[in-house]
Structure 1
C-alpha cells in the first residue's frame, strides 16, 4: 500500500506528507480516476471489460 501511495503522490501535486493539495482534489479528472481505481482495488472481483457497459454498471451498483 505504501508503494501505491508513493506512485499517486509522484503523479500528482502533493505536500510533504503525500497529501494532495486542494487544487488537485477538485476538478482533476485524472486524480478522480486514480482514486476510483484505488477504491476498486479493495474489491476481489475482477473489473468487467471496458466494452461491457452493462457489466460496468452492475459492478458500480454492487460496489
Structure 2
C-alpha cells in the first residue's frame, strides 16, 4: 500500500491494474446487460435480471 500512496509502484504494475479493471468492467457490462435482453417476445423478470447482475459481479470478483 505504501508503494501506491508514495507513487513508487512502477509503470507495468499500473498498466496491469488498468487492464484488469478494463477486463472486469467489460465482463460486468457484457454479462449484466446481456441478461436484460429478451428474446422471442419474452422479456426476463426482475428476479432473473437481479440474479444475472449478482452472478456477473461474483464472476468479476473471482
**Higher normalized helix content (fraction of residues):** 2
TM-score with structure 1 length normalisation? 0.28
What is the TM-score when the length of structure 2 is the normalising length?
Answer: 0.28
Larger Cα-atom Rg:
2
Query: RCO higher in 1 or 2 (8 Å CA, sep ≥ 6)?
Result: 2
